[in-house]
Amino acid sequence: MKDKKAKKIVFKSAEEMPAMVISIGSQTHNLTGAWRNIRPEIDLAKCLKCGICWKFCPEPSIDVVDEWPVVDYDYCKGCGICAEECPAKCIAMVEERK
C-alpha cells in the first residue's frame, strides 16, 4: 500500500542528491485525485470480481482487496475507463460535489 504520510523529500544541496532521477517521492504528495470531476462508484452487489477494472485502470488506482475492487480516490483522475470496460455495468460515474 502507498504510504500517504511519507515526509516530503526536499534535498538541501546538489551534493546530497542522487545524480539519477530516482524515487524522489513526488507522487506521495501530488494527489492527482484532485483533478477529478466525476468519480467512479462501484455497486458491489452487481460486481463479478472479474478484475477487468483493476487491469484497465491506467493510473493504477484500483486495488483488489479480498478479491473486491477498491478505488483509491487520492489518485483516481476520474477517466471512466473502468466504468466503460466493466462487463456487469456496475460502475457509475458520479459528478463530484465540491
Q: Which three cell numbers stand for residue 17?
A: 542528491
Nearest distance in Å: CB 81, other proteins: 22
Q: Which of residues 9-28 bind other proteins (CB under 8 A)?
A: 10-11, 13-14, 17-24, 26-27
Q: Name the maximum alpha-carbon separation found in the chain.
A: 55
Nearest distance in Å: CB 9, other proteins: 9
Q: Establish how many alpha carbons lie within 13 A of residue 43's alpha carbon, considering only the half-sphere containing its beta carbon.
A: 12
Measured from the CB atom, is 28 or 47 closer to other proteins? 28
CB 41 within 8 A of CB 61: no
Q: Which residues bind other proteins (CB under 8 A)?
A: 10-11, 13-14, 17-24, 26-27, 30
